[in-house]
């Protein structure tokens, strides 16, 4: 009988998280009218703050609720889940601090602006995810080890089970909202934070399975909690490395992909009188990129015409890769 109740609860949960759900559908419809347009730095900064503030408010409520549910419901898994949500709140603070710095205009000491501060923020979020993932894996290993030694894990209360379900629903909504806004605002840090929301939701799925198994299936199934947590921790760790790798590449001044560089060569050499684009150097600077190269033109061409051509090339590249693109062109005579 208890197993049937357990199945019904999860069927309702699956239905709640499906695309037909009224809340998720609402956020999916946002895509229909949010266009990928170039925003000013101020608009982009305000947008990132707004999305981060929404996430922060939700996280504060969830952290408080889950700590209470874990303590009252006698669930170590729920308390651990609350700690994971607390890491989400920390990343929100990181974004608020670093996005303001990254949007500062260039100054005497930062000729290329401050875009890499946002990259650094994304790297910090990845590191936090890594620490959380390793921590969950460690706790799960300790609990599994205790079961192997013959110990019986404590039975959680229903408030912890309901708390886990509520967390899954709200975290999935928050993930979809954040990822849509991140793409609109072209913010890598927000994308990282969106995936942190989802990782929190996935952790809550593991918590729900473990708590539900402990409540409805009996004491011998309480090991489901640490086993599911171990599975989710692997996902979190992999996601952390995926977020950190491009950040490390950028901070190490790695060149842009070959596809982008070949595209740049095609754009530049499409101009009449321009040939032999060489010494191409590219790199990422936050959400913008820097492009430096040499070209050759007829040595008899007037300085005025050469200047107009080079200026048009610069405008074309900025139209294609964004107005914040740094373009440096060195012209050589044939």
In the chain, the domains with their CATH numbers are: 2-251 (1.20.1510.10), 258-333 (3.30.70.1350)
Average pLDDT over residues 191-202: 80
CA distance 16 to 207: 17
Q: Higher model confidence: residue 176 or residue 124?
A: 176
Most confident of 5-19, 112-126, 161-175: 161-175
**Burial state string for 283-296 with b = 16 or more CB within 10 A and e = fewer than 16:** bbbbbbbbbebebe
Contacts of 279 (CB under 8 A, 6+ apart): 292, 293, 294, 330
295 pLDDT above the threshold of 90: yes
Tell me the whole-structure pTM to 2 decimals: 0.61
Give residue-wise pLDDT tens across range 56-113: 888 888 889 988 988 888 777 787 777 777 766 776 677 667 766 766 767 677 666 6
Q: Higher model confidence: residue 41 or residue 235?
A: 235
What pLDDT sits at residue 95?
67
What pLDDT sits at residue 259?
92
Contacts of 202 (CB under 8 A, 6+ apart): 232, 235, 236
Average pLDDT over residues 259-263: 92
Report the mean per-residue pLDDT for the chain.
78
């Amino acid at each position: 009988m208890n197993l049937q109740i357990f199945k019904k609860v999860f069927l309702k949960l699956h239905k709640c998280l499906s695309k037909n759900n009224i809340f998720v559908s609402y956020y999916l419809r946002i895509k229909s009218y949010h266009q990928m347009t170039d925003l000013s730095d101020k608009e982009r900064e305000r947008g990132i703050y707004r999305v981060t503030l929404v996430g922060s408010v939700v996280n504060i409520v969830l952290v408080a609720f889950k700590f209470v549910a874990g303590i009252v419901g006698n669930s170590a898994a729920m308390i651990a889940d609350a700690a994971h949500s607390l890491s989400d709140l920390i990343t929100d603070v990181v974004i608020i601090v670093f996005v303001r710095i990254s949007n500062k205009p260039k100054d005497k000491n930062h000729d290329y602006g401050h875009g890499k501060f946002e990259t650094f923020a994304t790297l910090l979020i990845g590191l936090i995810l890594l620490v959380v993932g390793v921590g969950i894996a460690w706790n799960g290993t300790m609990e599994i080890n205790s079961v192997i030694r013959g110990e019986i894990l404590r039975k959680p209360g229903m408030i912890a089970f309901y708390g886990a379900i509520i967390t899954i629903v709200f975290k999935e909504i928050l993930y979809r909202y954040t990822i849509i806004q991140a793409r609109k605002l072209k913010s890598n840090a927000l994308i990282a934070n969106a995936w942190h929301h989802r990782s929190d939701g996935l952790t809550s799925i593991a918590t729900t399975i473990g708590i539900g198994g402990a409540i409805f299936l009996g004491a011998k199934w309480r090991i489901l909690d640490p086993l599911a947590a171990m599975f989710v921790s692997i996902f979190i760790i992999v996601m952390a490395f995926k977020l950190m790798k491009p950040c490390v590449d950028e901070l190490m001044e790695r060149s842009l992909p070959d596809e982008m560089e070949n595209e740049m060569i095609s754009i530049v050499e499409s101009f009449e009188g321009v040939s032999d684009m060489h010494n191409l150097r590219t790199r990422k600077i936050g959400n913008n990129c820097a492009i430096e190269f040499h070209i050759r033109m007829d040595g008899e061409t007037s300085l005025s015409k050469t200047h107009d051509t080079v200026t048009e090339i610069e405008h074309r590249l900025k139209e294609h890769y964004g107005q914040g693109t740094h373009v440096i062109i060195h012209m050589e005579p044939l």
